[in-house]
Structure 1
Amino acid sequence: MIRVLIAEDMHILREALAELLSLEPDIEVVAGVAAGTEIVPAALEERPDVAVIDIDLPGMDGVSAAAELGRELPSCRVVLLTALTKPGALRRAFGLRAAGFVPKDIPPAELAAAIRTVAGGGRAVHPSLALAAMEARESPLSQRETEVLRMSATGAQPVEIAERLFLTYGTVRNYLASAATKLGARNRVDAIRIASEADWI
């Protein structure tokens, strides 16, 4: 039997996935969690062979959770579920070399087949996601610009950001201005919107 953990924040979808996969003669769903932070504790307790993880999870996103799971329980292979809305997350997931990568609207039989492939040591990457990841643009922002813009997106003001990053107020303003310029944004709010939609922050 292939032991499977499901990480999906929508209760009804998580239950439906568990029920559908449990109909397969060689798959047993041993755990279901709703948040990224719950994945590793549940996996360490249940020791699944495969974790099916939604990329968009509360607490910790699916890509970060998959990376942590890979460190804590390397024997558990990962199948990531995603919509095509976050190209930056797609690139990060491919960088992780997740064993499986499938769209959320995949038919149950195809998901079961992907789980079997991954459990057997192979990779299962849906062609549409591979293409989307290849076409996704890399962020033009520097690491510091990304950090400053991400903090600004949480509502932090330049003075607060400067204090937390041990920078001067003027330096933070310069980073925000250069980020807006690189993104072709009208202002800081527009820069945050553009970077968020591209999943760069």
Structure 2
Amino acid sequence: MRVIVAEDQGMLRGALSALLDLEDDIEVVGQAENGEQALEMIRNLRPDLCVMDIEMPKLSGLDVAERLKADGDPCRVVILTTFSRSGYFQRAMRAGIRGFLLKDSPFDELSASLRRVFEGGRAVSPELAITLYEAENPLTEREREVLKLARDGLPAGDIAARLYLSAGTVRNYLSEAIQKLEAKNRIEAIAVAERNGWLD
């Protein structure tokens, strides 16, 4: 299988590529240091798989996967992450990502997962799957919209105008979100939601 490795940390990218190249059935055909470069390489080199960090400069691994899905590109994406955020996981599944693995997984597990994905299967770290079931996003779509606009610094009146709601309704949505996230105020609620990937 032909693989591209996309990771913004040079040492990790080089080490991972070298280990994968040692496998008889894996050939690393490119290394990218950011999401934009990864997308360009995928389009030019037509690899079977792209092993990608979730958080990279320019475009995240999730951004790249979403663009590939929109383009109908056959390259299968495997995300490597240190983050077990359920919001990321859910977005990854929607983007058609075939593998979602933790960076500290043993290398044998990674290579076996790549083979499974190459053969048409899925590979998800058990810890990430557990996180998904334990931490579903408690916010409604409207609460997320209101929190996103509050994160951008808009006061309740401006949020109300943007969403065609009354200011009182917006304050109710903010209050509900704060309670659900067990936060003290909207700033803390936004921080909790961002940390869990629930505003993506």
Task: Report the TM range for the smaller structure's normalisation.
Answer: 0.7 to 0.9
**Of the candidates 154, 157, 173, which is equivalent to residue 154 of structure 2?**
157
Cα distance in 2 between the residues matched to 1:29 and 1:73 = 22
Q: Does the CA contact (< 8 Å) of 1:161 and 1:172 recur in 2?
A: no
Q: Does the CA contact (< 8 Å) of 2:5 and 2:52 recur in 1?
A: yes
Equivalence map 1:1-201=2 (5 Å): 2-137=1-136, 139-154=137-152, 156-158=153-155, 161-162=158-159, 165=162, 167=164, 170=167, 172-201=170-199
| Closer/same/farther in 2, CA of residues 152 and 76 from structure 1, 3 Å limit | same
| Closer/same/farther in 2, CA of residues 159 and 61 from structure 1, 3 Å limit | same
Which is further off, 143-152 or 41-50? Answer: 143-152
Cα distance in 2 between the residues matched to 1:164 and 1:43 = 42
Cα distance in 2 between the residues matched to 1:65 and 1:160 = 35
| Closer/same/farther in 2, CA of residues 181 and 127 from structure 1, 3 Å limit | closer
RMSD (Å), alpha carbons: 2.6
Which is further off, 158-167 or 2-11? Answer: 158-167
Question: How much does 1:97 deviate?
Answer: 4.7
Which is further off, 159-168 or 18-27? Answer: 159-168
| Closer/same/farther in 2, CA of residues 34 and 173 from structure 1, 3 Å limit | farther
Q: Which amino acid aligns with 1:122?
A: G
Cα distance in 2 between the residues matched to 1:61 and 1:136 = 22
Cα distance in 1 between the residues matched to 2:162 and 2:58 = 23
SS for the counterpart of 1:186 is: coil
Q: Does the CA contact (< 8 Å) of 1:102 and 1:126 recur in 2?
A: yes
Question: How much does 1:80 deviate?
Answer: 1.5
Question: How much does 1:161 deviate?
Answer: 4.9
Cα distance in 2 between the residues matched to 1:166 and 1:83 = 35
SS for the counterpart of 1:59 is: coil
Question: How much does 1:188 deviate?
Answer: 0.9
Q: Does the CA contact (< 8 Å) of 2:89 and 2:132 recur in 1?
A: yes
| Closer/same/farther in 2, CA of residues 10 and 118 from structure 1, 3 Å limit | same
Cα distance in 2 between the residues matched to 1:51 and 1:77 = 6
Q: Which amino acid aligns with 2:11?
A: I
Structure 2, gaps ≥5 residues long:
none
SS for the counterpart of 1:129 is: helix
Aligned length: 198
Q: Does the CA contact (< 8 Å) of 2:89 and 2:100 recur in 1?
A: no
Per-residue CA shift, 1:56-103, capped at 9, x if unaligned?
233333233212222325321121212253122123323445322221
Q: Which amino acid aligns with 1:118?
A: V
Cα distance in 1 between the residues matched to 2:108 and 2:161 = 49
Q: TM-score, normalised by structure 1?
A: 0.83
Q: Does the CA contact (< 8 Å) of 2:76 and 2:98 recur in 1?
A: yes
Cα distance in 2 between the residues matched to 1:159 and 1:124 = 43
Q: Which amino acid aligns with 1:162?
A: I
Q: Which amino acid aligns with 1:195?
A: A
